[in-house]
Chains A and B, each alone.
Chain A
C-alpha cells in the first residue's frame, strides 16, 4: 500500500487508489485548510474542493472521496457534533440526491464530524449507484486506512538552513 501523508492526514491507499493532500494557496485574507482527494481514476490537475472537474470523469466502477477540513471555530458546533470519521458505510448511506452535482447514475454520501479535535466533512461519490454493493466496501477499505493527527504535522523540506 502506498502511503500518503501531509498536513496531519495520513492514508494507506488501497490498490488502484490515488490521491493528494493539499492546502489551497490563500487568496487575500482567506484562510485555507487541508483537503484530501482520493480517486480510483486519474485525478486531473484542477479539481474543485468537492470534486468538480473530477466526478464527470468517473466510470461506473470508480470512486471519488473528499476529506475537507473546516476552521477551528467549527469545533463544538452542532453540525460537527459527531465524534470521529465514519469508518464503515452501508449501501443505504449512498443516495443519488446527495450529490453536489447531479450526474445521472452516480450517488453520494456526506458526513460532518470532528476527528482528533479537527472539524471535517467526508464526501464520497460512487460512479454507479447500481454497483454500490461492490463499491461501498472499497470506500470502507479507504476509510479504514485514513488517520488524522491532532495537529497538522510539520512537512519536512530539504531546504538549506543557516546554522
Chain B
C-alpha cells in the first residue's frame, strides 16, 4: 500500500488559508465553522500536471463538482511564485490565495495536491493527487455520500451539537483513540481480526481501477521534504 505516513502526518486540522491574491489584495478563506465542503487545490504556475487543472478551472461550471462545494486554489506566496503568471492562469471567478504558509500548514508534498475539508467537522477528510479533475470530482462526490450516510458534516443536524458524531471520523479522534474507534466500527460491521479485506495485496484492492492516482511532483522549493509520499489518498477514520 505504499510507504506508511510519517509520524507528523497524523494531523487533520484545517487552518484558515490566508495570503494575497495575484492582484495584491489580501484574502483569507476560513474552511471550518461552516456547513460546506471546501476543496483546496494546491497548484503551481509552472508544473506541467497543474496546467490541465488551471485549464479545467477556466470553466468552473463544467468541473462536475457536486453542488455546494467551494473550490479554492492555493499557490505559494508571491515570494516564490510570479503573481502575474498565476493571475494569467486563473479565471476571474476562481478564488486564488497565494500563501506559502498554507502549503506548510497542510503539509503539501508537491503539486498538484488536493485537500477536502469538512467545514462542519472542522477537519480534513481526504487528500491526494490525480491527473484529471474528473477523478478529484469523483472522490469529492464519494466523500459527500459518506457524509450523508453517516449523518455528519451538517451544522445543527447532528454536527457540533450532537447527533451522529460517535464515529472517529466525525469526532476528530487521532492516533490510538481513532484506531480503537475504527476497530469498534469494523467489529460492528462484522469485520473481525483476520478478515481478508483487511489485508489488501495490491493497490487495486484499495483503489478502484478507474481512480488513477499519480505521485505528486516533488516540490521544487523543498517545503516539507520529509512528508513526501506517493499516490496516496487518505480518508480519515
Contact = CB atoms under 8 A, between A and B. Distances in A.
B109 to A, nearest CB: 22
Q: Tell me which of A9, A42, A155 has the highest count of chain B C-beta atoms within 10 A of its own C-beta.
A: A42
B28 A20 contact: yes
Interface string B20-52: 110111111110111010000000000000000
B152 interface: no
Q: Tell me which of A2, A9, A17, A160 has the highest count of chain B C-beta atoms within 10 A of its own C-beta.
A: A2
Interface string A133-163: 0000000000000000000000111111000
Interface string A10-27: 000101111111110000
A29 interface: no
B78 interface: yes
Contact of B15 (A2, A9, A40): A2
Contact of A13 (B16, B25, B93): B16
A4 interface: yes
A85 interface: no
B8 interface: no
Given A42-B70, A160-B82, A5 B26 contact: yes
A157 B79 CA distance: 7
Interface residues of A, number: 27
Contacts of B84: 157, 159
A13 B28 contact: yes
Contacts of A7: 25-26
Contact of A22 (B25, B79, B81): B25
Nearest to A46: B93
Q: Tell me which of B26, B32, B36, B82 has the highest count of chain A C-beta atoms within 10 A of its own C-beta.
A: B26
A18 B24 contact: no
Nearest to A25: B23
Interface string B181-224: 00000000000000000000000000000000000000000000
Nearest to B24: A155
A21 B36 contact: no
A18 B28 contact: yes
Majority DSSP secondary structure for residues of B touching A: loop
B83 interface: yes
Q: Tell me which of A4, A40, A160 has the highest count of chain B C-beta atoms within 10 A of its own C-beta.
A: A4
A89 to B, nearest CB: 22
Given A16-B33, A18-B28, A22-B25, A6 B20 contact: yes
A47 B78 CA distance: 25
20 contacts: A2-B16, A2-B30, A6-B24, A9-B26, A13-B16, A13-B30, A20-B26, A22-B21, A22-B23, A22-B26, A23-B25, A40-B30, A42-B30, A45-B95, A155-B20, A156-B79, A159-B82, A159-B83, A159-B84, A160-B82
Which 4 A-B residue pairs are closest in the complex by CB-CB distance? Answer: A16-B33, A6-B26, A2-B18, A22-B25
Interface of B: 15-18, 20-21, 23-30, 32-34, 36, 70, 77-84, 93, 95
